[in-house]
Amino acid sequence: MKLFIDKESKVDDVKKIFTSCYPFLKIELYKKPFANNFIAIKKEPLPATIRLNEFIRTADEIVIDISHNVTVAELESQFNNIGFVTEVFRKSGNVWIASSLTDNWTLQQQNAEGKEISSHF
C-alpha cells in the first residue's frame, strides 16, 4: 500500500487514509521534534486543514510506503525524511497509546494488537 502526498494533500487526508488502512491505529504529524535533550516540549500536532506542501522539503509528489510489513520506526523515518515528526498510536479500548515501545513492530502487528485489546472492552 502506498500513501501519495501531493501539493493539495492536507494533514487530515493523510490521517484518514492511514486510519482507513489500519482502523486500530492513528497517526499524528508534528512540524518540530517534541523532545529535546530530555526536556519535553509541548506537542502541537499540525491542524487537520493545513496543506502539507507548506512543510515538505520537495515540490514533487511523495510516496510513503504504508504496507503491512513496514515497521512503525520505518514509517516514522519516511515522514522524517520529508520534514515531519510523526507518532503512531494504537487503540487500547477507549484510549490511544503511543506505540513508541513497540516501534519495531510492523503496522499489521500493531493494528492486530489494537484490535485484540479493543475487543475485550
Q: What is the pLDDT along the chain (121 residues), one digit of tens a residue?
A: 999 998 889 999 999 999 999 999 999 998 765 555 444 455 678 888 888 877 776 667 899 999 999 999 999 999 988 888 899 999 998 899 999 899 999 999 999 999 999 887 7
- Rounded to 10 degrees, the C-alpha dihedral 40/42/43/49 comes to -160
Alpha helices, H only, the chain: 11-21, 72-81, 107-118
Instruction: Report CA-CA distances (Å) from 86 to 10, 11, 68, 120, 121.
Output: 15, 11, 18, 28, 27
pTM confidence score: 0.84
Q: For residue 103, give Cα distances in angstroms to 49, 56, 57, 99, 111.
A: 27, 24, 25, 6, 12
